[in-house]
A and B are shown apart, each in its own frame.
Chain A
Amino acid sequence: MNALLELEGLSKGFASRGPWGRRGETFWAVQDVDLTVAPGETVGLVGESGCGKSTLARAALRLLEPDAGSVRFAGTELTTAGARSLRAARRDLQVVFQDPFASLDPRMRVGRIVAEGLAIHGVGDRGSRRRRVADVLERCGLSPEAADKFPHQFSGGQRQRIGIARALAMEPRLIICDEPISALDVSIQAQILNLLTDLQRDMGLAYLFISHDLGVVRHLCDRVAVMYGGRIVEAAPAEALFHSPAHPYTRGLLAALPGARRRRDSRIPAAAKRAAEGQCPFYPRCPEAEPACARWDFQAYDLGRGREVACRRAV
């Protein structure tokens, strides 16, 4: 498979400060992650808050500098890319953030926000950029007059459409969406999901879709990766993952979905301390853990048919 985005052994750590400002222990927010997204594919990345999914997105975009591993996008190695080739790659690699209130500059008119990328990359002249902005705004369900207004004049759903229009203006091949709809009402969520689906069909876009909402991921994604404690613990085609989850954490997440069928005994504890070095990352919280899981070097096992799971009991 020719991947469009390929992460290999990606790690990002944050050092805590020890006594007297000395460099303390390193907290690995993302550890040794492999992940690929093919052209036109939607890959979901799920996990609870603090599992490292947003750090992964930021490291892949080099908004944070990764500590180890590689990020290849359309053949370019981004981790070592210079300013010029990084900028060129980012034309095709766009991002939509979670908070449509914080991610748009309140002092800029929408037209300038959407055209900013085009201007930076020197695409077309003023007139053609104006036309492109009107096009993408319309494509995202906003009127062309929206270009002359400021972000505060729009609702949350409309602002998220502006964020998508900004990403779309560059005609990217991949958009990384970091919880793009979790701040929105149910009916608005449905509108934005439909918009993402339509854009993908019409423009052959690929998405890396980060979310904690399993229903949304199931609806939208071709493949799903489940993250826990900075690691990917399971990856599988969406259908297979929801039908027969292989990792106890995935099973726990699915069992915790609210509804009349949720059973108390099926739940995993809501929180636990972080695993020690040389333990399965899920060990302190795992309802199915065995003593041997406390001495296990993390590794992913191939289950065939595109399924991988990092649990020693699954094989």
Chain B
Amino acid sequence: MSAPASASRATDAVLALDGLTVSLDATGSQIPVDDVSLSLRAGETLCLVGESGCGKSMTALACMGLLPEGGCIRSGSIRFQGREIGGASPAQWRRLRGDALAMIFQEPMTSLNPVFTVGRQVTEPLRLHRGLDRREAWRRAGELLEQVGIPDPGQRLRAYPDELSGGQRQRVMVAMALACKPDVLIADEPTTALDVTIQGQILELLADLRAEHGMGLLFITHDFGVAEEIADQIAVMYAGQIVEHGPAGRVLADPRHPYTTGLMEAIPGRARPGERLPALGGKVPEMGHLPDHCRFADRCPLAQPRCRREPIPLVERQGHASRCLFADRVGPEIWH
């Protein structure tokens, strides 16, 4: 028979993080990403779910070689198509980024350059990586804008970012990221600021690209509705660690970490109208003061003294992992 599932996963993976630990300063007192292992295969979508400050965006930036000044990978590896890229040189990163490995950022107004036209920015990766001439690159850029649903692309290419609506800017970001048909696309909350109708259109576009040429998609979101629609796997992050990870259907139907159920129960629309929402009390521990034991213990209704004794490992059972000693007792009712 075949090798264990996890081993074959790692070999097929287009993007594989193994024990990735990121530090924001030399002393290592600020660890936004702690021992994160994930793997993404071609044509697959992995949703990374969590709230602000949980480390999901920092994980994405590490994969793009875009950690902020002073930040570094302390340990672990990032492999892209089997090659280690965690220690790549700036020149190697430039060849990779925007070509085989691309990213859509959350905030289109700060990620587009206001002094260059849309056309100049969408053609940049095509000219840089594909060596297209100006004319050919503009023609291709027009096609891309059309593909992401921007009306009158020829005219929009000559516009500056401030002349576009928020939804159009976000679609320009998507067009730029897709220009060179990346093998892996990292999307950091690409639809959060958009209206539901445009959100739907962008999710469909990403799903089509994935199906057409087997693009792997690492999709960062805090919206379980979006995850339900597009994810093959879901990983939930809390205070820098993965606390739950598994096939999307199982994580959504039968979550095994109290934080996951807490987030799900806090979504209005699932509760009866007018009812009090079961709110997660307390707050996320601060990055410089993370406890050695379970990081969620102070907010957890299931917490026992055992949870505060030592670090809690991420334990996998039949492909579904949870970082909770009481994973069997987790259910929506613990929040009511």
Contacts and interface: CB of A to CB of B under 8 A. Distances in A.
A268 B197 contact: yes
Interface stretch (A117-125, A142-150, A216-224): A216-224
A21 to B, nearest CB: 20
A312 interface: no
A252 B195 CA distance: 12
A190 B274 contact: no
Secondary structure at chain B's binding surface: helix, strand, loop or mixed? loop
Contacts of B279: 187, 190-191, 194
Among B226, B229, B274, B278, the most chain A Cβ lie within 10 Å of the Cβ of B274
B263 A215 contact: no
Which size bracket describes the interface of B in this complex? 35 or more
A216 B196 CA distance: 14
A258 B166 contact: no
B247 interface: no
A187 B266 contact: yes
Interface in B192-229: 195-201, 203-204, 222-223, 225-226, 228-229
Contacts of B266: 186-187, 189-190
A256 B191 CA distance: 13
B331 interface: no
A258 B268 contact: no
Interface string B255-287: 000000011001111110111111110010000
Given A48-B197, A253-B197, A187 B151 contact: no
Given A218-B273, A257-B225, A260-B229, A190 B197 contact: no
B51 interface: yes
Contacts of B195: 48-49, 212, 270
Interface string A203-227: 0000000001111101110000000
Contacts of B283: 155
A239 B262 CA distance: 26
B52 interface: yes
B222 A185 contact: yes
Among B201, B266, B275, the most chain A Cβ lie within 10 Å of the Cβ of B266
B149 interface: yes
Nearest to A155: B283
A218 B268 contact: yes
A58 interface: no
B27 interface: no
A270 B274 contact: no
A259 to B, nearest CB: 5
A258 B196 contact: yes
A212 B198 CA distance: 13
A260 B227 CA distance: 9
A219 B271 contact: yes
Given A193-B268, A197-B274, A218-B273, A187 B201 contact: no
Interface residues of A, number: 38
B234 to A, nearest CB: 13
A220 B269 CA distance: 9
A164 to B, nearest CB: 15
A159 B166 CA distance: 25
A171 to B, nearest CB: 23
Contacts of B196: 48, 212, 214, 253, 256-258
A220 B277 CA distance: 11
A190 B280 CA distance: 8
Contacts of B263: 186-187
B221 to A, nearest CB: 9
B6 interface: no
Interface string A227-248: 0000000000011000000000
A244 to B, nearest CB: 16
A194 B276 contact: yes
B165 interface: yes
Contacts of B203: 258
Contacts of A187: 51, 262-263, 266, 279-280
Contact of A256 (B52, B199, B222): B199
Among A155, A189, A213, A270, the most chain B Cβ lie within 10 Å of the Cβ of A270
27 contacts: A185-B222, A186-B267, A187-B280, A189-B266, A190-B278, A194-B276, A194-B277, A197-B274, A212-B196, A219-B268, A219-B271, A220-B268, A220-B273, A253-B196, A256-B199, A257-B196, A257-B225, A259-B225, A260-B229, A262-B200, A264-B204, A267-B201, A269-B197, A270-B149, A270-B198, A270-B201, A271-B197
Closest 3 CB pairs of A and B: A215-B269, A219-B268, A190-B266
